[in-house]
Structure formats: C-alpha cells, structure tokens
C-alpha cells in the first residue's frame, strides 16, 4: 500500500530534477556544429531563392 504523502514527495523530487536538467540544458547553448549546419542550410535556402 502506498502512502499519499510519499507520492507527493516523489513527484516533488521528480519535478525538481526535471527543472534542474532543463535549466542545465538551457545553459549549455547550441553546439558549434549545429550552428554551422544551420548556417549552411540558410545559405542553401538563399541560393535557391535567388535562382527563382
């Protein structure tokens, strides 16, 4: 049998851990490889747009 207070405590711990992981992910920023890929795609898109 589970205790109602135990579930709330467990949910609270899960919430705190999810918030912490989310904040850490935000602080990491975008990797340079990903930025380079986005720039290459933008250039490709612009080149296609100028050919129309």
Does 41 have pLDDT greater than 70?
A: yes
Name the DSSP class of 2.
-
- Please give the average per-residue pLDDT across 32-40, as a whole number: 95
Does 2 have pLDDT greater than 60?
A: no
**CB-based contacts of 24, cutoff 8 Å, min separation 6:** none
Residue 4 has what pLDDT? 66
Q: What is the pLDDT of residues 12-30, one digit of tens each?
A: 999 999 999 999 998 998 8
Residue 3 has what pLDDT? 66
Report CA-CA distances (Å) from 30 to 15, 42, 44: 24, 16, 20
């Amino acid at each position: 049998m589970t205790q109602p207070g135990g579930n709330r405590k467990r949910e609270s711990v899960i919430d705190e851990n999810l918030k912490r992981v989310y904040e850490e992910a935000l602080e990491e920023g975008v990797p340079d490889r990903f930025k380079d890929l986005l720039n290459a795609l933008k250039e490709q898109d612009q080149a296609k747009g100028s050919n129309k």
